[in-house]
Copies of this chain bind each other. A is one copy, B any other.
C-alpha cells in the first residue's frame, strides 16, 4: 500500500482559530497532517516575510488528533517556509491554508495571508489550496463546507495542479440551505473603498484606523463574486506570473 500523503496545514487567523481546527479534522481523513501556523492573528499580511527580526517555531498541542503541530511567530508565508525547510523531512504532497474567517474572493486575494501561504506552497512546487468561508464570525458554521473541502483537496491530491497555479476556494456563508455546488471561475474586478477613522490619542496626537467596504466593479456574471452571490462555492486558479502579457506588445511600441 502506498504511503499516505503528507499534508501541510497553515492559515492566517492563528493556530487556535476554529477555521484551521476544522481544516485539520478534514485533512486527517486524507493523509498525515503537519500544522505550522502563526501563534497570533496575521490577517491582511499579504505575502509579507520576516527579514529584520527572528522567527520562533515550536511544537505545540492544541487539541486531540493524529496531527503534529507547530506554532510560529512569523507571517503565514514564514510558516510555509519554516515548514518546508526546517520542520518537515520531505516535501509535502499538498499545502492547504485556512479555513479563513472571511472572504478572499476578488481583490482580497492580494491582501490575504491565507492565500499568500497557499501561494508560497505553490512557489515551492507543491500543489496548494487556500480555503475561505465568507463569514467573519468566530463561531461561524464551517460544517456544511467540509465535504466540499475534502472533495477539492482529494481531487488535487489525485490530479495535481498546473505548474505555478494555486486554487483560491471561497465558500458562501451558510444560510441553512444546502450549497448549490462548486464553480470554477475567475477573479472579479473590485476594490476596497476606504475611509479612515481619524481619532485623537490621550496626548492629543492624531491616529487612524483603517476601515472601508469592498465594492465589486465587475458588471459581468462569470466571476467569483457572482458565484458566491448565487450560493456556489467559488474556485479560482491563481498564478504567480503577474506579467500582463496581453499588454506587452502595445507597451513595447512605446520605444522607451
Contacts and interface: CB of A to CB of B under 8 A. Distances in A.
Interface of A: 41, 43-52, 54-58, 75, 77-78, 81-82, 84-86, 107, 109-111, 116, 119, 123-124, 151-152, 155, 159, 162, 164-165, 181-182, 184-187, 189, 191, 194-196, 198, 205-210, 235-245, 247-248, 250-252, 254, 256
8 tightest A-B CB contacts, nearest first: A46-B47, A239-B244, A46-B46, A237-B244, A182-B256, A186-B243, A48-B48, A55-B208
Contacts of A111: 47-49, 77
Contacts of A235: 251, 256
A196 B54 CA distance: 10
B44 A49 contact: yes
A130 to B, nearest CB: 12
Which residue of A155, A184, A189, A191 has the most chain B CB atoms within 10 A of its CB atom?
Answer: A184
Nearest to A190: B123
29 contacts: A45-B48, A46-B48, A46-B49, A46-B116, A48-B48, A48-B75, A51-B210, A55-B196, A55-B207, A56-B206, A56-B207, A78-B210, A81-B196, A85-B194, A86-B196, A86-B208, A110-B119, A123-B191, A181-B256, A184-B252, A185-B248, A186-B241, A186-B248, A187-B241, A189-B241, A235-B256, A237-B243, A237-B247, A238-B243
